[in-house]
């Protein structure tokens, strides 16, 4: 059966890869996934948080329920993969983060569990829109996800290029950081590039701000805590011979606690406003919270580790991985219900899964599909044992 399933997983995954849709636009993706789940005999509920869906599988008389979550959205990236037979058919969009593979693994787990029926209780297969925005989990919960489909615990996974294929990594506590976004607008006075004394140069002021922001982590934050401040965009309304009137700095911060988030926001605002005041120019500062940190529940570490070991072997599982500063919308779910998130190795060589996430040449490694499907199915068997 598994050899047949492997072919089906690959077919599902490559179909989804060719038809990427971005956040809250996953209409065809949702249709395709729902169709597969219905053929497996599952009860499917649509339109949760927009394009999200939940499929239920109940076996036996057990009262407990778990959620297995997959993200559905793609990215606005033009795929660069000459010769790839299943490359994106939607111009300017691609599955550059592997959500096509995540969906296929959860579909595979649904098929395994529907056929084996080796658990007692309810498994809810949760397909979430708009993970890349950091909006989809909140949209589903605002639509009554856990009131309509309560779970005792929720589990998720993400493929990880650079990790050996079919290996697992997880930990108790924080595993991925929050993401906050910021926009700093410096309003100077433009002038001719040959007569800088006639204006107030916002590029020089903005440059001072960028450099000063880097002192927050090194000089204001306890060295035992983690944070990152990254300025990622520097936008002006000048041209080659014109000193601009306006500069906009955009970027994001990563951290693991509300206290650190507050420190970063406070010091960034003080530095930006203070430097601008020194130069006699206006400054506006915006700071928004996009992703919650992903904090695994200690009580669900063992079941995740044991499921991974049963599938991949003890040596293939890291039960105390170093926390990463990337962010994931799954963190919002873990603020509402307990659970666990794991990384599954996508491959450590470029030709077989090692191309970085969000790269125009990235592709999900089909060799790990069965491992992921078996892992999620094993979670149900362990967490909802037959009495």
Cα–Cα distance list, 159 to 37, 331, 337 (Å): 22, 16, 23
132 carries a ligand binding annotation: yes
> Checking phi first, is residue 280 left (phi over 0); if not, alpha (psi -120 to 50) or beta?
left
* CB proximity list for 270: less than 8 A, separation 6 or greater: none
Give start and end residues of each alpha helix (H) in 27-93.
Answer: 27-39
Instruction: Measure CA of the first residue to CA of the last residue in the chain; give whole Å.
Output: 26
Rg, C-alpha atoms of the chain: 23
276 in a labelled binding site = no
Whether residue 192 is annotated as binding a ligand: the answer is no
Distances (CA, A) of 38 to 56, 230, 276, 372: 10, 44, 59, 21
Residue 97 known to bind ligand: yes
Nearest to 185 by CA among 289, 291, 287: 287
- Tokens 């300025």, located at residue: 231
Distance CA(277)–CA(267), nearest Å, equals 15
Residue with the two structure tokens 């856990």: 146
- 282-291 β-sheet, strand order: 227-236, 246-255, 178-187, 282-291
User: Is the CB of residue 64 less than 8 Å from the CB of residue 386?
Assistant: no
Contact in structure between 339 and 154 (CB atoms under 8 Å): yes
* Partners of residue 192 on adjacent β-strands: 242
Q: What's the token pair of residue 248?
A: 């906009």
CA atoms of 65 and 44, how far apart (whole Å): 16
Query: How many angstroms separate the CA atoms of 346 and 326, rounded?
Result: 16
**Does residue 358 have a known ligand-binding role?**
yes
The token pair that represents 96 in the structure block: 């550059």
| Token pair belonging to 179 | 């993401």
Residue pair 178/383 in contact (Cβ under 8 Å)? The answer is no
Pick from 159, 155, 180, 179: which is nearest to 169 by CA? 159
- Binding site, residues? 97, 99, 132, 158, 358
- Binding site for Mn(2+), residues? 97, 99, 132, 158, 358
């Amino acid at each position: 059966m598994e050899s047949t399933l492997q072919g089906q997983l690959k077919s599902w995954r490559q179909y989804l890869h060719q038809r990427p849709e971005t956040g809250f636009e996953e209409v065809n993706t949702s249709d395709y996934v729902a169709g597969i789940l219905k053929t497996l005999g599952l009860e499917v509920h649509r339109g949760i948080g927009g394009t999200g869906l939940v499929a239920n599988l109940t076996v036996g008389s057990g009262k407990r329920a778990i959620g297995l979550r997959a993200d559905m959205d793609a990215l606005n990236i033009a795929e660069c993969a000459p010769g790839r037979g299943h490359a994106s058919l939607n111009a300017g969009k691609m599955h550059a983060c592997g959500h096509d593979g995540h969906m296929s693994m959860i579909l595979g787990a649904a098929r395994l569990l529907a056929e084996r029926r080796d658990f007692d209780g309810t498994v809810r297969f949760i397909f979430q829109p708009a993970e890349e925005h950091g909006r989809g989990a909140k949209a589903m919960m605002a639509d009554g996800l856990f009131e309509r489909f309560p779970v005792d615990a929720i589990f998720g996974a993400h493929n990880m290029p650079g990790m050996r294929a079919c290996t697992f990594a997880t930990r108790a506590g924080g595993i991925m950081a929050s993401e906050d976004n910021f926009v700093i607008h410096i309003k100077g006075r433009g002038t001719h590039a040959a007569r800088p004394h006639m204006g107030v140069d916002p590029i020089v002021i903005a440059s001072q701000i960028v450099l000063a922001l880097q002192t927050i982590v090194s000089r204001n934050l306890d060295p035992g805590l983690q944070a990152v401040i990254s300025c990622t965009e520097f936008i002006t309304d000048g041209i080659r011979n014109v000193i601009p009137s306006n500069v906009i700095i955009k970027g994001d911060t990563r951290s693991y606690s509300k206290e650190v988030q507050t420190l970063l926001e406070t010091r960034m605002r003080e530095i930006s406003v203070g430097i601008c005041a020194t130069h006699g120019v206006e400054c506006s500062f915006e700071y928004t919270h996009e992703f919650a940190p992903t904090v695994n529940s200690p009580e669900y570490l063992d079941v995740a580790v044991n499921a991974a070991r049963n599938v991949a072997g003890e040596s293939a599982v890291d039960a105390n991985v170093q926390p990463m500063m990337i962010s994931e919308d799954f963190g919002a779910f873990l603020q509402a219900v307990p659970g666990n998130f794991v990384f599954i190795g996508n491959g450590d060589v470029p030709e077989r899964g090692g191309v970085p996430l969000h790269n125009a040449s990235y592709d999900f490694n089909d060799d790990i599909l069965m491992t992921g499907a078996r892992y999620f199915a094993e979670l149900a068997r362990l967490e909802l044992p037959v009495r």
